[in-house]
Amino acid sequence: MQPSFWEHDAMLTADFIVIGGGIIGLQTALELRERHPKQRIVLLERGLLPAGASSRNAGFACIGSLTEILSDLDAMGEAAVLAMVERRWRGLGRLRQRLGDDAIGYEDLGGFELLTGLDPLQRIGEVNRVLRPLFGQDVFSPDDAGLRASRFGPQIKALVKNPFEGQLHSGRLMRALAQLAAACGIEIHTGAHVAALEEGGGEVRVHIAGERKLTFRAARAAVCTNGITCELLPDVGILPARGQVLVTEPIPGLPWRGAYHLDQGFYYFRNVGERVLLGGGRNLAFETETTTEMALTAVIQSALERLLHEIILPGREVRIEHRWSGVMGFAADKQPIVRLLSDRIALGFGCNGMGVALGADIAAETAALLS
Ligand SMILES: Cc1cc2nc3c(=O)[nH]c(=O)nc-3n(C[C@H](O)[C@H](O)[C@H](O)COP(=O)(O)OP(=O)(O)OC[C@H]3O[C@@H](n4cnc5c(N)ncnc54)[C@H](O)[C@@H]3O)c2cc1C
């Protein structure tokens, strides 16, 4: 079916096209709207609902756990670590300001890390010193009372608290972003799977997969497709990384609240009301999990269940009520990529597994590149 004159003239052309309707794509569109109040902005998302990471994640509003920051300090040095944490912190502030805490179910319950050995505690002072210019106080401190109260398994030797982390409801966040974008006149098309994009003749042409063979045209385009970028633009060096999650039934009397990291961030769990959401374990099968396929595997799901029964809620019978997976994206150096791919096409990729906080900052930079 050919597009009609009307479709061609008024629906398939825009000033800006954003590809990908996750946290970064929607916020890039909103940033473009702030800079260009009168121009037409079209957002193309392949799923009926977002179909990558943003509505399938764990909802941690995190800036980095103690052991993650320690390993980054060793790899990147103090200035780079401070700059990275600052971007996450700034992004989180921007997100909360944009949507409001109620709309996104933001809860200021703190972030925690469970340690099976005491060595990282020796370097708490060093990390706090590096982060003090940003927060004006210590970020990490041992939480012995919290450890006693939470009744984790005996493998856990220490608990470290970070009061600057929080958690939110990822479904409500994505719904609020989509509603705000629509209210700002951003035209969102779901079920629009971009098969290819090309630049030439002073425009970008974005070809949609499917029988209708529609092509959108715009002066500029932003690609915000995260882990699935490897299918559209295989050369930019972003690898997919599947993450698997489970959620339990409500557990009356759950003895802890907040967002918890374990094993350098390879495992994470939090409360959702009285339920436990638990995810991670990608390090058990890196090769299998380097995929865009949203499937579950027995290896990882049973590792998560073991963690639940042996460490998080030892000795309790708990039913699992939800399981799912989502796809993250990773660059080789774990750094964001915000750059022009050509004169009129920008890539906005940033999250490397931690996009809730960082997303707004990456979106602002991506929109600035195109403006
Ligand atoms: C299981 C899991 C748990 C996580 N937990 C957390 C957490 O607790 N805290 C945190 O900060 N981060 C977490 N993350 C990471 C975080 O969700 C991501 O960093 C963030 O959502 C990335 O946002 P994005 O907009 O870049 O990508 P996405 O949300 O992946 O959005 C990309 C969008 O592009 C669309 N798309 C892709 N290709 C095309 C195409 N060809 N045409 C049209 N559309 C296309 C996809 O359908 C998708 O909706 C987690 C991720 C996963 C998978």
Whether residue 224 contacts residue 17, with contact meaning beta carbons closer than 8 Å, is answered with no
Distance 356 CA to ligand 1 centre (A): 9
> What pLDDT shows up at residue 241?
96
Alpha carbon distance 339, 1 (integer Å)? 36
The structure tokens listed for 284 are: 């058990």
Q: Is the CB of 348 within 6 Å of ligand 1?
A: no
User: Is any ligand 1 atom within 6 A of the Cβ of residue 221?
Assistant: no
The predicted pLDDT at position 211 comes to: 85
- Residue 326 CA: which ligand 1 atom is closest? 53
Residue ranges covered by each domain of the chain: 5-55+172-237+334-370, 111-165+238-331
Question: 28, 42, 54: which to mutate for ligand 1, most atoms within 8 A of CB?
Answer: 54
**Looking at residue 46, what is its pLDDT?**
98
Task: Give the span between the Cα atoms of 80 and 59, in whole angstroms.
Answer: 25
**End-to-end CA distance of the chain, in Å?**
34
- pLDDT score of 332: 87
In short, whether 356's Cβ falls inside 6 Å of ligand 1 is: yes
Atom number in ligand 1 closest to CA 25:
25
pLDDT at 45: 98
Q: What is the pLDDT of residues 292-311, one digit of tens each?
A: 999 999 999 999 999 999 99
- Provide DSSP, 122-138: GGHHHHHHHHHHHHSS-
From 44, 46, 56, 57, the mutation candidate for ligand 1 (largest count of ligand atoms within 8 A of CB) is 57
Query: Taking each helix axis from N to C terminus, what angle separates 66-76 and 124-135, rounded to the nearest 10 degrees?
Result: 90
Q: Which residue has the tokens 């002072």?
A: 125
351's tokens: 């999250």
Residue 54's pLDDT band (boundaries 50, 70, 90)?
very high
Decide whether any atom of ligand 1 lies within 6 Å of the 206 Cβ: no
| Ligand 1 site, residue 53, Cβ cutoff 6 A | yes
From 87, 91, 101, select the one nearest 31 (Cα to Cα): 91
**pLDDT (0 to 100) of residue 116:** 96
Q: Whose CA is nearest to atom 21 of ligand 1?
A: 54
Determine the Cα–Cα distance for residues 176 and 104; give it in Å rounded to an integer: 7
353 has a pLDDT exceeding 80? no
pLDDT over 90 at 350, yes or no:
no
**Residue whose C-alpha is closest to residue 217's, from 11, 46, 68, 365:** 11
Q: How confident is the model at residue 30 (pLDDT cuts 50, 70, 90)?
A: very high
Residue nearest to atom 41 of ligand 1 (CA): 194
Q: How confident is the model at residue 358 (pLDDT cuts 50, 70, 90)?
A: very high
Taking the model in full, what pTM does it have?
A: 0.97
Q: For 135-161, give one letter per residue: b (16+ CB within 10 A) or e.
A: beeebbbbbeebbeebebeeebebbbb
Question: For 34-43, 170-179, 204-213, 296-305, which range has the lowest pLDDT when averaged over its residues?
Answer: 204-213
Token duo for residue 11: 């629906």
SS3 103: helix
Q: Structure tokens of 8?
A: 């061609």
Asked if residue 328 has its Cβ within 6 Å of ligand 1, the reply is yes
Average pLDDT over residues 154-174: 97
| 141/318 Cα distance (integer angstroms) | 31
Q: Give the ligand 1 atom nearest the CA of 62.
A: 11
Are 40 and 16 contacting, i.e. CB atoms less than 8 angstroms apart?
yes
The answer, yes or no, to whether any atom of ligand 1 lies below 6 A from the CB of 193, is yes
* Structure tokens belonging to residue 320: 């699992």
Residue 69 has a pLDDT of: 94
Query: Residue 236 pLDDT more than 80?
Result: yes
For 5-55+172-237+334-370, CATH gives 3.50.50.60
Residue 22 CB less than 6 A away from ligand 1: yes
Q: How far is the CA of 328 from the centre of ligand 1 (A)?
A: 6
User: Going by CA atoms, what residue is nearest to atom 16 of ligand 1?
Assistant: 355
Is the pLDDT reported for residue 333 higher than 90?
no
pLDDT at 24: 97
Mean pLDDT over the full length of the chain: 96
Domain spanning 111-165+238-331 has what CATH number?
3.30.9.10
